[in-house]
Each structure stands twice: as structure tokens, then as C-alpha cells.
Amino acid sequence: MGHRVLIVDDHPSFRATARVLLEAEGFDVVGEAADGASALTEAGRLQPEVVLLDVQLPDIDGFDVAARLTGNDDGPVVILVSSRDSSDFGPLVMRSGARGFVPKAELSGDRLQELL
């Protein structure tokens, strides 16, 4: 079985497509969340190894969610995703504690695997 993944994004169409894509490539998608608060709750409950986290969420900013998730040593690996380019965010990605950034359109199992 592959890595246990939690997908966090406020667009249901992206969550659905990302789930199909990652599951097809051997990942185990254990849950989904539509905003920052439920991402923190679900991460605590499901204990995923990887959190695929959208930057722009309706409540808490993705960078803040990443910082909270990676605050503990046993926290999950956070991969930020966005339909924007990483250059839009400057050094924020690195500072957030996230392992890396993948543009949404380029998401694939291989890209994810490279960062893990």
C-alpha cells in the first residue's frame, strides 16, 4: 500500500480528480477537507503521512495550516498545491514548513513521490 494522503482544497472538482489520479498511481487517499479548520481536525484524526494542501482556503491561509501541521516532529509531510505559480508566493512556501510545492495542473504521483 502507498502513502496515506489527506487532500485539502475548497474546490470539490479538484479534490475528486486528485483522488482518482493519486489512487491510480498507488497512493492511499484517506480523507478530504474543504477548509483550513477541518484540515487540522482531519489530520489529527486520520494521521496521514502526506497532506496535499491548497494555498488559498476560505478560512485559514494554507501557509498557516502548513506551519501548524509541521510544528511537531511527528507531523505529516505537507505538499502545497495551487493553480497559481510558486513564484507568486516567493519565500512563503519554504517558511511554512511545507516539503514542497506542486502546481495543480502538474500534479502526478511521480511529482509527489519526488518530494517525499
Partner 1 sequence: MTSLNRALVAIALSAVVAGGAAAALVVSSEHTPNKGLGIVLGLVTAWAFVGTGLYAWWRRPGSRFGALFTAVGFTYLLGSLTASDDSVVFTIGVVVSNLFFVVFAHVLLSYPDGRLQERWHAWLLGAGYALCVVGPLPQLLWGWTERMQESCPDCPESALLVARNDTLRDALNAVTSVIGVAIVATVLVILIRRWRAATPPQRRGMAPILWSGVAMLVLLGSALGSDAAGISRLTDVLGWLGLLVFASVPWVFLIGLVRSRVARAGAVSELLLRLGEAPGTGTLRARLADALGDRSLQLVFWLEDKGSWVDAHGHPFALPADDDPARGWTAVELEGRRVGAIVHDRTLSDDPELLGSVAAAAGLAMENERLQAQLRARVEELRASRARIVEAGTQERRRLERNLHDGAQQRLVAMSLTLRLAQSKVEKDPEKAVEMLAGAQEELTLAQAELRELARGIHPAVLSDRGLGAALEALAGRAPIEVDLAELPGDRLPEPIEAAAYFVVAEALTNVAKYAHASHATVRVARMNGRAVVEVADDGIGGADPGRGSGLRGLADRVAALDGHMLLDSPAGSGTRLRAEIPV
Q: Can you give the binding site for partner 1, defined by CB under 8 A?
A: 11, 13-14, 17-18, 20-21, 24, 56, 83-84, 104-108
- Identify which of residues 42 and 54 has a Cβ nearer to partner 1 in the complex: 54
Give me the least distance between CB of 71 and partner 1, in Å please: 28
Q: Determine contact, residues 71/97, Cβ cutoff 8 Å.
A: yes
Measured CA to CA, the distance from residue 80 to residue 113 in angstroms comes to 14
Give me the least distance between CB of 54 and partner 1, in Å please: 10
- Identify which of residues 14 and 28 has a Cβ nearer to partner 1 in the complex: 14
Give me the least distance between CB of 53 and partner 1, in Å please: 15
Neighbours of 56 (CB within 10 A): 12
Backbone angles phi, psi at 59, to 5 degrees: -110, -80
Q: What is the DSSP letter of 41?
A: H
